Amino acid sequence: MQRYFIYLAYDGTNYHGWQIQPNGESIQEYLMKALFTFLRQEVEVIGAGRTDAGVHASLMVAHFDYEQELDVMLVTDKLNRILPQDISVYEVRKVKPDAHARFDAVARTYKYYITTRKYPFNRQYSCRLHHSPDFDRMNEAAATLFDYTDFTSFSKLHTDVKTNNCKVTHARWEQQDEHTWVFTITADRFLRNMVRAIVGTLLEVGAGKLTVDGFRRVIEQQDRGKAGTSVPGNALFLVDVAYPEELFL
């Protein structure tokens, strides 16, 4: 049995997230259907994580098994012909038989986009604010994330994970143009809804509703009710998933 990693991108606007849902279309479902059309057999696809409804990925990774050796260039081409316009495959790579798209990932990076003006052409991909927050203060608060590992305060309630511990290695706001800011965050793993809850709470700091010390206390209280409201998913992108090089053949 051969195992392959698929590197792909998708616009999440029309989907109920990555994971197969009983009542809505998902990226995982379309990828499995495309593989079935090409390989003529049922193939399970395991993703590096779950993106929520409306969330995008400029780079997601998933794995699948097939009993024979595949021409990875041919698979890439065929999948792109079968998949809808809002899902694309960059490449397919052969990996070790026990390589796992989710459990072997050593880092994941997300970006969240904010705009301070009304602009018809990016409304699907950014969150519009009606005021300009204090981004310097927000960066000061974001830096405190490095001091903690338990992020229960920023996790969706009643999830099936065994631990709420994550190691954040990068968290910073940067200005892209006069009206656009992007928050980039990297960690070894993320909890459900974690990035959107962090951004929502940082925006409270930027609006002067919460101090930097107050942000720190939110983390320490380990209570989702103390953190800010989650920001909309349409401005969130998964942009990178990193793996040890020895997984690849």
Indicate which residues carry an active-site annotation: 52
Do residues 7 and 90 lie in contact, with contact meaning Cβ atoms separated by under 8 Å? yes
Task: Give which of 25, 16, 26 is closest to 54, Cα–Cα.
Answer: 16
Alpha-carbon Rg for the chain in angstroms: 19
Q: Produce one character per residue of 92-121: b if its CB has 16 or more CB atoms within 10 Å, e if not.
A: bbebeeebbbeebbeebbbbbbbbbeeeee
Q: Produce one character per residue of 122-161: b if its CB has 16 or more CB atoms within 10 Å, e if not.
A: eeeebbbbeeebebebbbebbebbeebeebbbbbeeeeee
Task: Give which of 96, 135, 86 is closest to 112, Cα–Cα.
Answer: 135
SS3 readout for 95-135: ECCCCCCCCCCCEEEEEEEEECCCCCCCCCCCEECCCCCCH
Structure tokens at 17: 């997230």
